[in-house]
Structure 1
Amino acid sequence: MQSNSNYSIGTPGKPWGESERQTWREQTTIKREYQQEVIPKIEALGQRFNIEQYGALSYDEARYPLLCIKSKNWDSNKPTVLITGGVHGYETSGVHGAIKFMDTQAEKYQKDFNFIAAPCVSPWGYETINRWNPNAVDPNRSFYKDSPAEESSNLMKLVATLGDVLVHFDLHETTDTDETEFRPALAARDGANFVECTIPDGFYTVGDTESPQSEFQSAIIESVAKVTHIAPADDKGNLIDSPMIQPGVILYPMVKLGLCGGATNCTYGTTTEVYPDSPKVTDEECNDAQVAAIKGGLDYVIRHL
């Protein structure tokens, strides 16, 4: 239903201009540090993988280098797996789940795949616990030509160097703050009415409308169910206002919406959605759910190569 509550910035019904974006930006604060919490974990893998810088954010290039973790013995005869995390910087297990997979599991699969992981696509968003970048632009709606988000354009340039990508895991979370902060802010920014939504209680995946790969999604759900609970549909049969087309799975048109999940022409792609606000899970279990999602998907692909 529509909500009459007004966001603290802007005039109802009127899209933001630069002054509103500046006001929004000024209310953000650094809450955690990318250089302390993320980069050391990536660099610690440097003996086992190649750590490469694929760009830097112009907001502060020294503070926000963009790093990827890449298989040392890259073999053009093997299929490539891309793992992205932190496209929405506030979705913490996407970042740390990607790193944990590379640390604990990737080498077990390297006889079958090349791996490249970009664990923290939006480090400013990570530090300020934000969905948007400093320009109030959502990187995960900006994967298209002449992108307004440098987080997205830098990743697309990296993807363009990879050749064919067979599998892409884009690691996300759906949080309670999506409903209390980020979706109301979006409505205010665009001069639209805020329509309330129910946050799913549990893990789910988002497949591509154009290539659902239902069995691949099912394998992911089955693997994650061993770690955390899977989100049930609401009383309308939906998850996050989209029809649940199979247990724990919805579909979005990835390319049309400018989503990171559409950044490659992969055969197998999924966007994971962990629910970190459940009292049933810990932060580490959220990371483990991301790892389990990747493992379940890769085990399925290996069976069908």
Structure 2
Amino acid sequence: MTQSTPYPIGTPGTPWGPAEVEAWRATQQKQRSYTDEVVKAIDPLRASFDVEEYGSVDYAGEHYPFFALRTRHWDDALPVMVVTGGVHGYETSGVHGALQFLREHANDYTGRANVLVVPCVSPWAYERIHRWNFDAIDPNRNFRDGSPAAESAALVRLLAPLADNVLMHIDLHETTDTDESEFRPALAARDGKDYEPGEVPDGFYLVDDADKPQPAFQKAVIEAVAKVTHIAPADANGEIIGSPEVAHGVIEYALKSLGLCAGITPARYCTTTEVYPDSPRATPKECNDAQVAAVRAAIDYALAHPAG
């Protein structure tokens, strides 16, 4: 089944050029404030963490700095735990779950691990509640050297000096109803392809690394999150968003080769969370709490099993 109504931008079957990107960009309106909701939430944390501006972008006269927060007493002898949120700006609980973890739990690991948190990788998209950046590029397919996405390139540069010391990287995401109503149709139109409708899973799930899976690690995270919110079931084909379910609430992608955020470093333990905020069984608070539970379980498991 393909989309019966063409996406309103572009010509079906023809990839977008600069004119179509500009037409798409003109439809993107600011709906919330990165400064008010993220930067101001970071400011009180400066008393407890080292805050670094690791890059920035300027889009149409608007300036967006990128911020990372680090353990204050960084110890190179300790493993590094990386938490990222807001790779896709519309995935709200990834951003606010990361901030909540910083406020409530990050300092619990002082003396046991170095914690590095990037709460909002894509601030322009955060303000517009969108998946792509200003150039209609998905940052989460472009975490590699020479990336065309400035947001991705900056994070790759930030993590490069730490790569060999990163034990765990958890990337906080959401799967929403707008994935099917807007973002996947837009992707098909941008790339000149047919849109094939999919099914949005109702609940939380994880994406493990197909090239170096860690099933016990994923299981520990799922069990922790299940105490907070419901876990997504597989569909009638035994799949979640088109990928085989390999364990309860777990699918696998080749993270590094696909240019996904959780694959930036060679971390032994890596995963991508997916919360479903549009579920009638979940609240915004529950979604944030689920992200925090996932982060804590991921760090706890990695500390308990540093050698795999």
Q: TM-score, normalised by structure 2?
A: 0.97
Q: Could you tell which deviates more after superposition, 279-288 or 183-192?
A: 279-288
CA contact (8 A) 1:168 1:270 kept: yes
- CA–CA distance in structure 1, aligned partners of residues 219 and 247 of structure 2: 8
Aligned residue for 1:156? Answer: 156
Q: Is the 8 A contact 1:35 1:63 kept in 2?
A: no
Return structure 1 stretches of 4+ with deviation > 6 angstroms: none
Closer, same or farther in 2 for the Cα pair 1:104/1:77, shift >3 Å?
same
Q: CA contact under 8 A between 1:81 and 1:167: conserved in structure 2? A: yes
SS in structure 2 at match of 1:38: helix
Q: Which residue of 2 aligns with 1:68?
A: 68
| Residue identity in the other structure for 1:243 | P
- Residues paired across the two proteins, number: 305
Partner residue of 2:220?
219
Aligned to 1:109: 109
Within 5 A, what are the aligned runs for 1:209-248?
209-248=210-249
Is 1:195 aligned to 2:196, yes or no?
A: yes
Where structure 1 has 5 or more consecutive residues not aligned to the other structure, the ranges are: none
Cα distance, 1:5 vs. partner? 2.5
Encode CA deviations 1:259-300: one digit per residue, 9 max, x unaligned.
111111100000000000011111111110000001111222
Alignment of 1:36-185 (within 5 A): 36-59=36-59, 63-163=63-163, 164-185=165-186
2:180 aligned partner, one-letter code: E
CA distance in 1, matches of 2:73, 2:48: 10
Deviation at 1:157, TM superposition (A): 0.6
Structure 2, gaps ≥5 residues long: none
Residues 216 and 60 of structure 1: CA distance in aligned 2, closer, same or farther (over 3 Å): farther
Note the C-alpha offset of 1:61. Answer: 7.9
Deviation of the 1:62 alpha carbon: 6.4
**Matches of 2:151 and 2:141 in 1, distance apart?**
11
| 1:3 CA displacement | 2.5
Q: Quick one: structure 1 residues 61 and 302, their matched pair in 2 at CA, closer, same or farther if it must change by over 3 Å?
A: farther
After superposition, residues 215-294 of structure 1 pair within 5 angstroms as: 215-294=216-295
Query: What is the DSSP-based 3-state SS (H/G/I as helix, E as strand, rest coil) of the residue aligned with 2:47?
Result: coil
Letter in 2 for 1:266: A
* Contact 2:145–2:156 (8 Å) recurs in 1: no
For residues 20-53 of structure 1, the C-alpha deviation after alignment (integer angstroms, 9 at most, x for no partner) is 0000000100000000000011111010101110
Q: Structure 1 residue 102: deviation in Å?
A: 1.2
- Cα RMSD for the two superposed structures: 1.1
Structure 1 vs Structure 2: percent identity of aligned residues? 53
